Amino acid sequence: MLFNVLSSHPDLWSLYRESQAIFDQHFPVKMITGSSEVVRASNINQGNSEAIERSFYDSVGNMGSAHMALSKGTSRLLRSRVGGTLLKVPVVSSFRLSSVYTRFGQGRKSPPLRIIEKTPENCFRIEALDRIFPDSQFIYLVRDPRQAIASIYSGWRDGLQFRRCEFPPDFNVRGYEGRSWCFGLIPQWERLNNSELIDVCAHQWLSYHDYCQQDLPSNPARVIQVRYEELASNPGRTLRQIAEWAELDWGPLSLFEAELPIVNTLTRPGAEKWRRIETEIEKITDLIRAAATGLGYSV
């Protein structure tokens, strides 16, 4: 939700999608022993830094608030029974509206641009992003880990679009019929062979969290932590805080002061959605408790 809201700001340019494809050109990910999504500052040189920066510049567009109407309409369709059927058709599931959105604004594109980007796997590339974009700012969005893990779990089970790379022949996840790793390939994924799916999801969440805690800049001018629950319950206050911190004009964001749009989700948001798999969540509560407590959540 936050990414779409900020992507509608006229001063920000957006890919309107995640940036995996850009990094995959230089750091492809496969389930080979020792491999993961992690890209350190030491992996960045002048050549790949300039190439990645150029790819971002070439790939972003600026549609302003107009893209929101299309996104909301598409999300409503996909949450319907008809939409669920359409998603099973490969040509439909592979189509991205972002390829349309990014065509807008090209005639007035000139450096420098201020780009808004959201890719969860970039939690593992903070050092690299800091090297490529030394003036970057980071919004650290935290959420009740039970909700976050339930969302990851749902993506593994239901979402074709979240498949990342193929399993090696001898790798298995219990309770999962697919043969593809979904979402970010975390460090030491090998240790999860023959684990239950809920354990894999919990370790993914922990790894994302740990790398943010470890690698985000300590300068508060460059990092702001936002709680998902506060954003959802009081979007006006949270968006004002972000606008002030990022020195953005509040006007375009005031359109969402009362309510955030529901986009890019196959089911409507809800504070208790994790209870749909409560039995599974109970299995990993002890594993995530310390990290959850550190973020201010009681599990």
Tokens of 149: 């893990």
Q: Which amino acid is at 251?
A: G
Q: What pLDDT score does 1 carry?
A: 85
Contact residues for 38 (Cβ-Cβ < 8 A; gap 6+) = 124, 125, 187, 211
Q: What pLDDT score does 74 carry?
A: 53
Domains in the chain: ranges and CATH? 2-294 (3.40.50)
Q: What pLDDT score does 94 carry?
A: 44
Q: What is the mean pLDDT of each run of 10 residues along the chain (299 residues)?
A: 92 93 96 96 98 96 71 52 53 54 79 95 97 97 96 87 92 95 97 98 98 97 97 96 98 92 60 88 97 95
Distance, CA of 210 to CA of 123 (rounded, Å) = 9
Tokens of 42: 């030491």
Kindly tell me the sign of the dihedral angle through the C-alpha atoms of 276, 282, 287, 288.
Answer: positive
Nearest to 54 by CA among 32, 26, 85: 26
Q: Which amino acid is at 69?
A: A
Q: What pLDDT score does 98 carry?
A: 64
Q: What pLDDT score does 265 carry?
A: 55
Show the DSSP H helices in the chain as ranges.
2-7, 20-24, 46-59, 66-78, 81-86, 90-93, 98-101, 126-132, 145-158, 197-215, 228-233, 235-246, 278-283, 285-294
